[in-house]
């Protein structure tokens, strides 16, 4: 009996020891794997130094300290700490702290990142030598804090994918990046917050500075196939540019590309361009022409302000669908254009109304069952100033210029029809101040398609019912 009790006690102790040692043995295996994976990040290209690799005894975590990658092109990537939390084969989280990419010769920082957190990545370490198949790269969530980027670096050119930035010089900072559902085919959500920078040779902008409060996009699909790329939504907030080629700001840009709910489109809120500043920064030989354009658009204020909404909607019925649009373009102190569209259509079998907005060429295959298009052009000073400028450039009085324009409108009307003549004469009425608005209403025939109108544009007046009104 004592012998039996002793045997049971020994087995119990052995079992408890094994249970205690298993996490240690597993962690030991993870530390070896982490070190091997880090050393293989660049394959055979470059050298790797690792200060210390350790594991937590009370938690499933393995970390590497003071990791240094030296590339063949003289660049050095330093990571203060690389931490893998959870099962090494299916991590809960991978954290990189103190990331710095620098030129090894000058020790100049090309990129600095305070912290990167990958939530539920498909691997603990992603090799960068193209040995991993694209479909094997998946990240549930992404969080990056405090990024500083040298715009002259090769990484910056890769990020922006713009040949015009090959000669860029300067620095950019990003306070925060957040992402969800990242893979080689799609990104569910991506957000960049508090971006600022300054530099020279910044593509079309030249030298200057810029800032951006936030950029968010959702539902980016088709990353692996350019022909199938689709973006559900994008919102840009508070962009400010102060550069040689553009001095201005944009309060908000919103793109709704997901038409599955029956609506979508593009909106621009409060775009402003300081044309006066831009003229001062422009080459002297270009200033006179720019100043004329500025005076026409802004009535001499030098401040161009634009609001825009291009919106599409539809209602799907049993036998036909109704596509509508209620859009507007406003150039403050210049003009306002209202667009109202109503098109009943029959789509080919298997084609949804959403495809009309999302895919080129779909509307061409649809049958248009009549419908209407209404344009209202509200004069807010633009046409009057154009008449004044035109008269000055031709060296005649404004009344002579308007009379000349009226004669030309009547001549075109003789060739293109009375409706076109009414439209052109309406523009003359806006320019001379005899009218404030010009409305054009078009009614389509009972059955047609786009080719009916695009095949012979000169025949449009005969195929459309057109009504013109000035008031």
CA gap 363, 351 in Å, rounded: 10
Cross-strand bridge partners of residue 49: 68
Which residues, at least 6 apart from 290, have a Cβ–Cβ distance to it below 8 Å? Answer: 275, 278, 279, 282
> What pLDDT, on the 0 to 100 scale, is given for residue 57?
64
Query: What is the token pair recorded at 165?
Result: 């930035």
Alpha carbons within 13 A on the beta-carbon side of 296 = 17
Check the CA dihedral 298-300-301-303 and report its sign: positive
Q: Are 422 and 441 spatial neighbours (Cβ–Cβ below 8 Å)?
A: no
- Sign of the CA dihedral 344, 345, 346, 351? negative
- Token pair 């509508």 is found at 324
3-state SS track over 226-262:
HHHCEEEEEEEEEEEEEECCCEEEEEEEEEECCHHHC
**Cβ atoms within 10 Å, residue 10:** 10
Write out the chain's pLDDT in tens, 471 residues: 444 343 344 333 323 332 333 343 344 468 999 999 999 887 677 789 999 999 876 568 999 999 999 877 778 899 999 999 999 999 999 999 999 998 766 778 889 999 999 999 999 999 877 778 889 999 999 999 999 999 887 777 667 666 666 778 899 999 999 999 999 999 999 999 999 999 998 877 888 999 999 999 999 999 988 877 889 999 999 999 999 889 999 999 999 988 778 888 999 999 999 999 999 988 899 999 999 999 999 999 999 999 999 998 888 877 888 889 999 999 999 999 999 999 898 888 777 766 766 666 677 778 889 899 999 999 999 999 999 999 999 999 999 999 999 999 999 888 888 888 999 999 999 999 999 999 999 999 888 877 777 766 666 767 788 899 999
Q: Is 274 helix (H, G, I), strand (E, B) or coil?
A: strand
User: How do strand 247-256 and strand 186-200 relate by DSSP bridges?
Assistant: unpaired
Report d(CA 100, CA 117) in Å as an integer.
15
Residue 457, pLDDT score: 66
Interatomic CA distance for residues 465 and 372, integer angstroms: 9
* 193: Cβ contacts below 8 Å, ≥ 6 apart: 174, 175, 176, 177, 178, 213, 214
Q: How far is CA 245 from CA 113, 164, 202, 276, 290, in A?
A: 31, 14, 10, 12, 12
Query: Distance between CA atoms of 448 and 371, rounded to whole angstroms?
Result: 10
pLDDT of residue 156: 74
* Distance separating alpha carbons of residues 444 and 460, to the nearest angstrom: 10
Are 155 and 99 spatial neighbours (Cβ–Cβ below 8 Å)? no
**Which helix (H) or strand (E) segment is 320 a member of?**
none
């Amino acid at each position: 009996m004592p012998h039996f009790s002793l045997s049971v006690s020994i087995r119990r102790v052995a079992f408890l020891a094994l249970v205690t040692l298993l996490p240690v043995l597993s962690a030991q295996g993870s530390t070896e794997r982490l070190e091997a994976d880090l050393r293989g990040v660049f394959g055979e290209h470059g050298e790797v130094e690792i200060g210390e690799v350790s594991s937590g005894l009370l938690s499933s975590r393995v970390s590497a300290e003071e990791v240094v990658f030296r590339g063949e092109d003289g660049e050095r990537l330093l990571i203060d700490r690389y931490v893998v939390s959870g099962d090494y084969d299916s991590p809960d989280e991978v954290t990189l702290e103190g990331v710095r990419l620098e030129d090894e010769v000058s020790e100049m920082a090309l990129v600095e990142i305070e912290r990167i957190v990958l939530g539920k990545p498909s691997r603990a370490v992603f090799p960068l030598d193209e040995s991993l198949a694209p479909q094997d790269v998946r990240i549930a969530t992404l969080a990056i804090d405090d990024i500083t980027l040298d715009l002259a670096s090769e990484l910056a050119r890769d990020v922006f994918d713009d040949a015009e930035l090959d000669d860029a010089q300067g620095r950019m900072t990003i306070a925060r990046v957040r992402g969800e559902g990242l893979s080689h085919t799609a990104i569910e959500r991506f957000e960049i917050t508090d971006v600022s920078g300054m530099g020279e040779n910044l593509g079309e902008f030249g030298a200057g500075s810029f800032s951006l409060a936030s950029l968010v996009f959702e539902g980016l699909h088709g990353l692996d196939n350019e022909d199938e790329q689709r973006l559900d939504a994008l919102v840009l907030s508070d962009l400010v540019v102060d550069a040689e080629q553009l001095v201005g700001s944009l309060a908000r840009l919103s793109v709704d590309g997901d038409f599955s709910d029956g609506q979508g489109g593009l909106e621009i809120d409060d775009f402003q361009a300081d044309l006066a500043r831009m003229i001062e920064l422009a080459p002297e030989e270009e200033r006179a022409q720019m100043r004329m354009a500025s005076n026409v658009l802004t009535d001499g204020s030098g401040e161009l302000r634009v609001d825009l909404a291009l919106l599409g909607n539809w209602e799907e019925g049993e036998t036909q669908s109704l596509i509508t649009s209620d859009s507007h373009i406003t150039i403050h102190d210049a003009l306002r254009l209202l667009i109202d569209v109503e098109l009943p259509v029959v789509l080919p079998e298997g084609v949804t109304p959403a495809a009309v907005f999302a895919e080129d060429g779909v509307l061409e295959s649809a049958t248009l069952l009549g419908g209407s298009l209404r344009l209202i052009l509200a004069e807010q000073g633009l046409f009057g100033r154009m008449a004044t400028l035109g008269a000055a450039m031709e060296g005649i009085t404004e009344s002579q210029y308007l009379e000349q324009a009226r004669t030309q409108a009547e001549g075109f009307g003789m060739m293109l029809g009375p409706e076109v003549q009414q439209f052109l004469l309406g523009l003359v009425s806006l320019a001379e101040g005899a009218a404030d608005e010009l409305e054009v209403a078009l009614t389509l025939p009972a059955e047609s398609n786009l080719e009916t109108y695009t095949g012979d544009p000169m025949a449009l007046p005969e195929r459309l019912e057109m009504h013109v009104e000035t008031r």
